[in-house]
Amino acid sequence: MKRIRFGHSEYSIGCWIVSVFCTLCVVFMNPPVIVMILIFAGIFFGAIAICWMPYIIAKNQLRSAIDRCKPDETTWLRITKDHIIVPQFVDKGPYGQTKGITYKEKADVIDDGSFPIRWLNGNPSILMYDMMNTNVDLNKSVARKIMRKEHGIRNGIEAYNKAKKEKEVLSND
């Protein structure tokens, strides 16, 4: 049997329904103590329903998944040293440079345009790893796996040496 999973939006709507129910009960009942309790409960659950989703968005730093970027902004899907994904808005600079904050320090990452990605809301983004100064290109990673499988090459130096032996290296002349 499949387990039903409730998310934050379901809890928020549930609080809103309780709020509406309590407020409607006030209309149909006259006892003063119950009226006061239901009005208080209606206001309380209504406030929770209104505040729940913005709180979760702010807590989990998901603003870039919801709000649109300005023309001079882009987003990072930043992978930290601890392997945590942190989405964040960053400013665009000249020549593909993006400027943001990592670990409370200014950081620049070059977007060479090799692996552009987009959010569902249309925001442009780059995949960024804290240990690199350029964006992550997953196509290059796949190509390296294929090179290792087909040619037994583990890194770029071995690939260059093998190409040099086979005289397939372009000369600087």
Distance CA 111, CA 126 (A): 7
> Which helix (H) or strand (E) is 168 found in, with range?
none
**DSSP strand pairing (124-129 vs 73-79):** parallel
**Are 98 and 146 in a shared domain?**
no
Tens of pLDDT along 102-150? 877 888 888 777 888 888 888 898 888 887 767 777 677 667 677 778 8
170 or 151: which leads in pLDDT: 151
Backbone angles phi, psi at 165, to 5 degrees: -60, -40
- Tell me the two tokens of residue 135: 């964006």
Q: Are 68 and 121 in contact (CB under 8 A)?
A: yes
pLDDT of residue 67: 80
In a domain, 134, yes or no: no
Cβ neighbours, 10 Å, residue 156: 10
**142 vs 2, higher pLDDT:** 142
pLDDT at residue 48 greater than cutoff 80: yes
| Whether 88 and 118 share a structural domain | yes
Q: For residue 1, tell me if it sits in a domain.
A: no
**Could you give the percent of the chain with pLDDT greater than 90?**
0
Q: Is residue 172 part of a domain?
A: yes
Closest CA to 72 of 90, 54, 50, 88: 90
Same domain, 114 and 146: no
Same domain, 12 and 54: yes
Structural tokens at position 57:
């968005």
Determine the length of the chain: 173
Same domain, residue pair 77 and 110: yes
Q: Are residues 54 and 25 in the same domain?
A: yes
Rounded average pLDDT over 24-32? 75
* Mean pLDDT within 23-36: 76
Residue 173, pLDDT score: 47
What confidence score (pLDDT) does residue 121 get?
A: 85
Mean pLDDT, range 1-29, rounded to an integer: 76
How many domains does the chain fold into? Answer: 3
Query: And the tokens for 133?
Result: 């100064």
Do 114 and 163 share a structural domain?
A: no
Q: Please check whether residues 117 and 78 belong to one and the same domain.
A: yes
What's the burial of 75, exposed, middle or buried (CB within 10 Å: 0-12/13-18/19+)? buried
Which pTM does this prediction carry?
A: 0.56
Residues 118 and 90 in one domain: yes
| Contact status, residue 54 vs residue 18, Cβ threshold 8 Å | no
**What's the pLDDT score for residue 37?**
84
55 in a domain, yes or no?
A: yes
Are residues 100 and 91 in contact, defined by beta-carbon separation less than 8 angstroms? Answer: yes
Q: 83 with 124, same domain?
A: yes
Higher local confidence (pLDDT), 172 or 6? 6
pLDDT tops 70 at residue 169:
no
Statement: residue 8 has pLDDT above 50: yes
Domain that holds residue 118: 68-129
Is residue 105 in some structural domain?
A: yes
Mean residue pLDDT across the chain:
80
Residue 18 lies in a domain: yes
Asked whether residue 107 is domain-assigned, the answer is: yes
Which residue did the predictor score with more confidence, 43 or 1? 43
Which of 19, 42, 59 is the endpoint of a domain? 59
Structural domain includes residue 76: yes
Residue in 87, 86, 142, 136 with CA at minimum distance from that of residue 110:
136
78 and 110 inside one domain: yes
